[in-house]
Each structure stands twice: as structure tokens, then as C-alpha cells.
Amino acid sequence: MGRDKPTFEQIEEKLGSLTGQPGAAESHGALCGLLCNRGDLPDGGGWLQQIFPGANPDVEAEAVFRQLCAKTKSDLDDSCFAFSPLLPDDDQPVDRRIEALGEWCQGFMLGLSLGGLQQTEQLSPEAQEILRDLAEMGQAGSYQLDGDEQDERSYAELVEYLRTAVLLLHAELGCDKQPVSAGKLH
């Protein structure tokens, strides 16, 4: 697979073998929240267990999760703003993609919390507003859809806002953080 980011479907498949674990969108969101708040993880393959205790992937799944972590960190650190959230492809129904967007945001907020973010009032006003927006976007599954082209445009705008918001939070939160050990998360 090289340095490419695993696809949404690949992550869903690997997570599907782990009973009781969230889906690809929420898991990637949690990974991103943790990376934004901590800057790095000591074991790129162990992030799933750090975020979701009890996850026990097989060797092949572990390799895919390690690859996802490395590519996500690389994308977050990229000066060309290569980062994008792991969401279903555009050939999926828009209501499923919006639901996954909400799950991604919920996971992101979880990752920030597990990474130690507690006092948001110390953040810039822009970062505080972004966190409020992402918390609201976490409820995206409850949005009313019209079933028209406007839904597609709205979804695309939300994804672009999310992408930009995460990069801004990463810049504010993650630049000077040290790796966190699994014992410090809980």
C-alpha cells in the first residue's frame, strides 16, 4: 500500500472484525483529535487501542491502522495542506456521507479529550469557535435533507470547513506537544 492513506472501505473492513468498535469515520476523527492535541503517538499502530481500549486487531489490520496513522500525521504536518478527513466516497448517498461527517466530528472531539484537552478557554477565540462548530457538526446525522443538488453543495462546504478547521486546530494545538504514552490517556 505504500504511503497512501487506506480507503474508508479498507478501514471499515478492518474495524468490522473488531467487535464493538466505531466505524472508520469516527475512528479517523478520534485519531486526528489525538494527533492534533499531542502532535504524535509513540506507536503508530497502537493508536486504536489507545483510543478504543479492548480493540485487538490482527497483524494485517494493525498494519493498515499503522499506515493510516502515519499518513494522517504526514498530511496534518504537510505544508501544502494535504489533510482530508476519512469519509465515504462521493458515490455513496449524501445522507450516509453526512452521517459519517457527524461521526467523524464526534470522534475528533473524543480524540481531543483523550489527548488531554480540557480547558478550551485557553485557546484562541477562533479555536474555541471551531470547537463549537465541530460539536454542532457532530449532530450532522440529524440534519434534514431535501434530496437535491443543494445537499451535495452543503456537504462539500462542510467537508472543506472541517478540513480547514482541523488544520487550524492542529497548528494551534499540536506543534509543541510531545508524544503521549498509552498510560497517560486514561
Q: How many residues does the chain have?
A: 186
- Domain 8-184, CATH homologous superfamily name and number: YgfB uncharacterised protein family PF03695 (1.20.120.740)
Banded pLDDT at 144 (limits 50, 70, 90): low
Count CB neighbours of 157 within 10 A: 10
Reply yes or no on whether the pLDDT at 186 is more than 60.
no
Reply yes or no on whether the pLDDT at 45 is more than 70.
no
Residues 56-73 pLDDT 10s: 788 888 888 889 998 999
Residues 154-184 pLDDT 10s: 899 999 999 999 999 999 886 544 443 333 3
The string of DSSP codes covering 117-176 is ---GGGS-HHHHHHHHHHHHHTTGGG----SSHHHHHHHHHHHHHHHHHHHHHHHHHTTT
Show the cell assigned to 78. 504537510
| pLDDT at residue 173, as a whole number | 85
With pLDDT > 70 as the criterion, what percentage of the chain qualifies?
Answer: 82
Q: Are 65 and 123 in contact (CB under 8 A)?
A: no
Task: Give the dihedral of Cα atoms 150, 142, 69, 9; nearest 10 deg.
Answer: -70
Residues 82-137 pLDDT 10s: 899 999 999 999 889 999 999 999 999 999 988 878 778 888 999 999 999 999 99
| pLDDT at residue 3, as a whole number | 59
